[in-house]
Amino acid sequence: MSETGKQRVLILGGRSDIGLAIARRFAADGHPITLAARNAQTLEDDKADIALRNAVEVSVEELDVLDTEAMAAFVAKGAAPPGIVVSVIGVMGDQHENQRVAEQAALVMRTNYEAPALALGLYAELMEAAGEGVLVGVSSVAGDRGRGSNYVYGSAKAGFTAYLSGLRNRLSGKGVHVVTVKPGFVATRMTDGMDLPQRLVAQPEEVAEAIWHAVEKRRDVVYVKPVWRWIMGIIGMLPERVFKKTSL
């Protein structure tokens, strides 16, 4: 807690455009912030900016979530867990490369599923013991149904979504809330240069606003742009016989 009485927000994957937007949104509301990322020293300017604008305390920590041992040590250190932990960790990779190069696919699977699930899982233990806390996992609509064009990424997100659902179920009534976020397309470094239908693309700030709102209102599963709920609903309902012939 800070002088403003707001809980600390830890962002795993703090350099991503979405992660920084989330940091700014919570800082504007008076929350102290910790950004955890690889090459954390490159985040000094962002740290200064967020602290100066919002008069909150901001810290930056080195973390590679794929290093499971280091990650577990990172979670364990410190007296109490942060009040809110958000994972925006992910990597898209290239589907064709993921098909051919097992190591590359493994990196995508581990980064989108294994590592964030393990990290939030460890924080869940601490929060359960403390009797309070909020966990936010940024997953993806790509996990709602595996598609030929990016099922390596999609299946890993599906695993993460299922994990978050289970965690939420288990911790319900224990004071710990779990939010699953499915942003749809977002204009970030990940999608730079891709040709996307602009009406379906959210800005990182919109994702951050949706997440802030979901945390305040204790929402379970959020789609940032509501149309995605419809799109994925329809895609989900297509019979496999039909679906397998589409190119989505």
Partner 1 sequence: MTPSVALSGWGRFPTCWTRLAAPRGPTDVKAELSPGGVIARGGGRAYGDSAIGSSRTLDMGRMNRMLAFDYETGTLVAEAGVRLSEIIDVFLPRGFFPFVTPGTKFVSLGGAIAADVHGKNHHKDGSFGAFVEWIDVMGADGEVTRAGPRDNGALFEWTLGGMGLTGIILRAAIRLRPVETAWIKQQTLVAPDLDAALDAFERADEATYSVAWIDCLASGKELGRSLILLGEHASAEDLPPEQRAHPFRTAPRRKRTVPFDAPRFTLNRHTVRAFNAAYWRNGSKREGEALVDWDSYFYPLDAILGWNRIYGRRGFVQFQCVLPLDRARDGLERLLLETSQAGQGSFLAVLKRLGPERGGLSFPMSGYTLALDFPVNRRALALIERLESIAIEHGGRFYLAKDALLGARSLHEADPRAGLFRQMRSERGMNGVFGSRQSDRLLL
Ligand X SMILES: NC(=O)c1ccc[n+]([C@@H]2O[C@H](COP(=O)([O-])OP(=O)(O)OC[C@H]3O[C@@H](n4cnc5c(N)ncnc54)[C@H](OP(=O)(O)O)[C@@H]3O)[C@@H](O)[C@H]2O)c1
**Which run of H or E residues covers position 11?**
strand 9-12
By CB under 8 A, residue 46 contacts partner 1: yes
Q: Kindly state the tokens that stand for 177.
A: 């809330």
Instruction: Tell which residue, 62, 41, 56, 49, has the closest CA to residue 20.
Output: 49
Which residues, 141 to 200, sit near partner 1 by CB under 8 A?
Answer: 189, 193
Choosing among ligand X, partner 1, none, which partner's interface includes residue 95 (Cβ < 5 to 8 Å by kind)? none
**163 noted as active-site residue:** no
CB closer to partner 1, 75 vs 207: 207
Q: Which stretch binds partner 1 (CB under 8 A): 48-56, 62-70, 130-138, 211-219?
A: 48-56
Q: How far is the CB of 248 from ligand X (least distance, A)?
A: 15
Instruction: Give the active site residue among 113, 123, 153, 223.
Output: 153
By CB under 8 A, residue 49 contacts partner 1: yes
Instruction: Tell which residue, 46, 148, 40, 64, has the closest CA to residue 99.
Output: 148
Those residues with Cβ within 8 angstroms of residue 183's Cβ, 6 or more apart along the chain or in another chain? 18, 138, 140, 141, 202, 207, 210, 223, 224
3-state secondary structure of 225: coil
Choosing among ligand X, partner 1, none, which partner's interface includes residue 185 (Cβ < 5 to 8 Å by kind)? ligand X
Specify whether the backbone of 13 is left (phi greater than 0), alpha (psi in -120 to 50) or beta.
left
Q: Which stretch binds ligand X (CB under 6 A): 10-18, 93-101, 117-125, 172-180?
A: 10-18
Residues contributing to the site for partner 1 (CB under 8 A): 45-46, 48-49, 52-53, 189, 193
